[in-house]
Amino acid sequence: MSKNKLEYIHGFSEIEQERLLFQNQVLSPLIYENIDLNPYNRIQEIGCGVGAQMIEMLNRFPHIHITGVDISDVQVGKARLNLQHSNIDPSRYELHCMDITQAHALSKEFEAVVMIWVLEHVSNDLEILSAAKDHLISNGQLFLTEVYNDSLGFFPPLDDVLSHWYKMNAFQKSIGGNGNIGIELGSILKKLNFRNIEIKPYPILYDTTKLELRTEFFEYWISLMESGSKTMIDLNKIQSSEWEKVKNQLIQVSRNEEAVFFYNFIQAFAFK
């Protein structure tokens, strides 16, 4: 896998890098409800991207040190800038641009490894998780947060939106990704002989009882789909008019007070 090759459906543009920060703002209250790094000091994040999760973890757990690893030099460069602007003590983190499966020079003494929205974008999930296990100390803990894209649903039903969503997922699969990797985590971790495996589905349902959260989530979801759609447009996989139609439907339903948004992501926790 090359360092900036199109294995990432959203690309590496500046707009996408900013979207990742917005994504963290929206999703972090959900993601970290079940992630407790308080018992640990030395953390590795695999697939650190633009550093959004590193900043989140460093702020939530002021005692930890994080080593962030990503295969993209563009993303690592942006992560470095974002961390500098965060005013977090630089002695609390380090960044490396490398393929984690080839990271022989890195320490193998991490107490915890964290991966968030990473495995959906790779074709070698077993190899990456094997490397993650190799980097953990005995009894070290693995934290995974991943997608289950077939779970997406709306009320009123949005058939055109879902059709476009499935087309995006088929495209992601064609470039080596897996938009439903979340439901496979248990069996993958078992194959790698992790211990005490725990799988937690995290359903998100926003309706008229949570209007503020629903509004923010629709804004986030539109930005997510727009990012992937623009990549597909650039590669002539779809016409821009198709995405504009879908986007307008999402905007319209987001203004419907009775609308419901549903999605279910998956978290997995295991020990070496």
Query: 239, 247, 228: which is closest to 168 by C-alpha?
Result: 228
Q: How far apart are CA 250 and CA 261, in angstroms?
A: 10
Tell me if 236 is assigned to some domain: yes
Tell me if 4 is assigned to some domain: no
pLDDT tens, position by position, 32-78: 999 999 999 999 999 999 999 999 999 999 999 999 999 999 999 99
Tell me if 174 is assigned to some domain: yes
Query: 109, 20, 12: which is closest to 56 by C-alpha?
Result: 20
pLDDT tens, position by position, 194-227: 999 999 999 999 999 999 999 999 999 999 999 9
pLDDT band for 1, please (50, 70, 90 cuts). very low
Q: In one letter, which amino acid is 168?
A: M
The answer to whether residues 108 and 81 touch, using CB atoms and an 8 Å cutoff, is no
Residue 7: pLDDT above 60?
no
Tell me if 22 is assigned to some domain: yes
Residue 107: pLDDT above 50?
yes
Percent of the chain with pLDDT over 90: 88
Residue 140: pLDDT above 50?
yes
Summarize the confidence of residues 92-116 as an average pLDDT: 90
Check which CATH number belongs to the domain holding 183 and give it: 3.40.50.150
Pairing of strands 93-97, 110-116: unpaired
Q: What is the tally of structural domains in the chain?
A: 1
Predicted local confidence at residue 5, as pLDDT: 45
Tell me if 8 is assigned to some domain: no
Summarize the confidence of residues 121-130 as an average pLDDT: 95
Q: In one letter, which amino acid is 178?
A: N
Tell me if 2 is assigned to some domain: no
Instruction: List Cα–Cα distances, 50 to 6, 39, 259, in angstroms.
Output: 17, 26, 33
Domain enclosing residue 226, as ranges: 14-271
Tell me if 124 is assigned to some domain: yes
Tell me if 150 is assigned to some domain: yes
